[in-house]
Amino acid sequence: MAELENNQNVETTVVHAGRPERIGDGAVNPPIVPTSTQHAGGQYGYARDWSETGSYLEEAIGILEGGTALIFSSGMSAASAVFDLWPIGTKVVASQYSYTGVAVRLKELAELGRIELKLVDVTENSELDQVINALKPDWVWIETPTNPMMEICDLRYTAKLAHQVGAKLLVDNTFMTPIRQRPIELGADVVMHSVTKAMSGHSDLLMGALVTKDQELVEALSVRRILLGSISSAFDAYLALRGLRTLAVRMDRAEENAQILAERLQNHPAVKVVHYPGLPSHKNAGVAKDQTSGPGSVLSFEVNGTATQTDEVCENVRTITYATSLGGVETLMERRRRWEKENEAVPETLIRLAVGIENVEDLWRDLKGALDPVKR
């Protein structure tokens, strides 16, 4: 496979990483290789162990994040491969807000007596310090920004704390992507992705990824992937790589839209508060600025009204899609507490707005039209 030159900008790398060798009449794109088995005599031999198409995507994600990447059938299956590494009694510190599926599973593992779990406010370095030094965890599991409260964690500080007590730091980089934040450079041991989201970008597949520089961990995680049967298909790997090519331009446009919408929402009388690291009012806007190259395309806001009125806002948009998920080219929004398993500390009137690449004036007209009728 083609080697990338050092010192390349990420916007270039995302276009060129993970392509076949440049040889006469060779394809510029990787082949889709749908097979469940491979001829004997090679390194792998079976498609649960390795995917030829997937290996191109893994090369691209690995270069972008700065480690070796493994792809999984979903973000949750990537997370599950890590959970599956943990012996009984593993001590884990995690964000008090995080993606519902991860939060529910961590809580389940704690209730089953398999892990000791402590949840923290990741926006407070002193709390992280106190909890990590008291528990001396084996793993620290962080999202930044957190889903859906958009809190920012100081990754350099957290990595230092984790390493002082011998813990590994895992960072879910789904919201930022390596275009905006590179956690391994900031000290993380493992990066996790829901590739389903911005990395692939078109809401047409499910995929996850784990990236680490630790080769022992790569081996262990790839065994978990084989035994859990959680590799993704050749078709999905192809689609994800095709989507990844435009990540930088999608991110630029969606983020520009998100910034404008966040500022306008903040001034709308039906909005109580906007959570977006691109706003100076955000608690850790300075940390975000320091460790990322932009605030990203997702924001959340609280409606000045009831849960029913918040549902009505979601039902009344016409251009924006009322649906879960994020990171696609189309703008999606939902009231997060419509999900029974969502963290009860998330306000009932909180809407997560996953901004896409449409014309921002069309988005604003739609959003304003849905918010204006909210009676206060």
Ligand X SMILES: Cc1ncc(COP(=O)(O)O)c(C=O)c1O
Binding site for ligand X (CB under 6 A): 74-76, 99, 101-102, 143, 147, 172, 174, 194, 196, 206, 208
For residue 196, which of 184, 207, 186 has the smallest C-alpha distance? 207
Q: Could you give the CA distance from residue 191 to residue 69 in angstroms, rounded to a whole number?
A: 9
**Minimum CB distance to ligand X smaller for 174 or for 212:** 174
**Minimum CB distance to ligand X smaller for 101 or for 369:** 101
Identified catalytic residue from 172, 189, 236, 311: 172
**Minimum CB distance to ligand X smaller for 72 or for 301:** 72
Say which residues have a Cβ less than 8 Å from residue 344's Cβ, sequence separation at least 6: none
Q: Smallest distance, Å, CB 198 to ligand X?
A: 10
Question: And the tokens for 3?
Answer: 């080697």
Cβ-count burial of 190 within 10 angstroms (0-12 exposed, 13-18 middle, 19+ buried)?
Answer: buried
Identified catalytic residue from 44, 48, 242, 264: 48
Work out the angle between the directed axes of helices 307-316 and 360-371 (0-180°, nearest 10): 140
Q: How far is CA 83 from the centre of its chain?
A: 17
Q: Smallest distance, Å, CB 256 to ligand X?
A: 22
Identified catalytic residue from 19, 180, 182, 197: 197
Q: Which residues of 292-317 are buried (b: 16+ CB within 10 A; e: fewer)?
A: bebbbbbbbbbbbbeeebbbbbbebb
Whole-Å CA distances, 142 to 131, 284, 316? 14, 15, 34
Q: Smallest distance, Å, CB 9 to ligand X?
A: 26
**Minimum CB distance to ligand X smaller for 46 or for 339:** 339
Do the strands 332-335 and 321-322 form a parallel or antiparallel pair, or are they unpaired? parallel
Q: Smallest distance, Å, CB 12 to ligand X?
A: 27
Question: And the tokens for 146?
Answer: 């957190």
Three-state DSSP at 362 gives helix
Residue that has been written with the tokens 């500022």 in this structure: 263
**Inter-residue contact 79 to 208 (CB < 8 Å):** yes
Active site residue 172: yes
Identified catalytic residue from 19, 56, 91, 99: 99
Helix or strand (DSSP H, E) at 79: helix 75-83
Cis peptide before 145 (omega within 30 of 0): yes
Q: Smallest distance, Å, CB 235 to ligand X?
A: 16
**Minimum CB distance to ligand X smaller for 102 or for 355:** 102
Q: Smallest distance, Å, CB 372 to ligand X?
A: 30
Q: What residue number has its CB nearest to ligand X?
A: 75
Q: Could you give the CA distance from residue 302 to residue 266 in angstroms, rounded to a whole number?
A: 10
**Minimum CB distance to ligand X smaller for 129 or for 330:** 330
How many C-beta atoms surround the C-beta of residue 340 within 10 A? Answer: 6
Q: Smallest distance, Å, CB 28 to ligand X?
A: 28
Q: Could you give the CA distance from residue 118 to residue 368 in angstroms, rounded to a whole number?
A: 40
Backbone angles phi, psi at 163, to 5 degrees: -70, -30
Q: How far apart are the first and last CA of the chain?
A: 60
Q: Smallest distance, Å, CB 179 to ligand X?
A: 16
Query: Hey, which residues are catalytic here?
Result: 48, 99, 172, 197
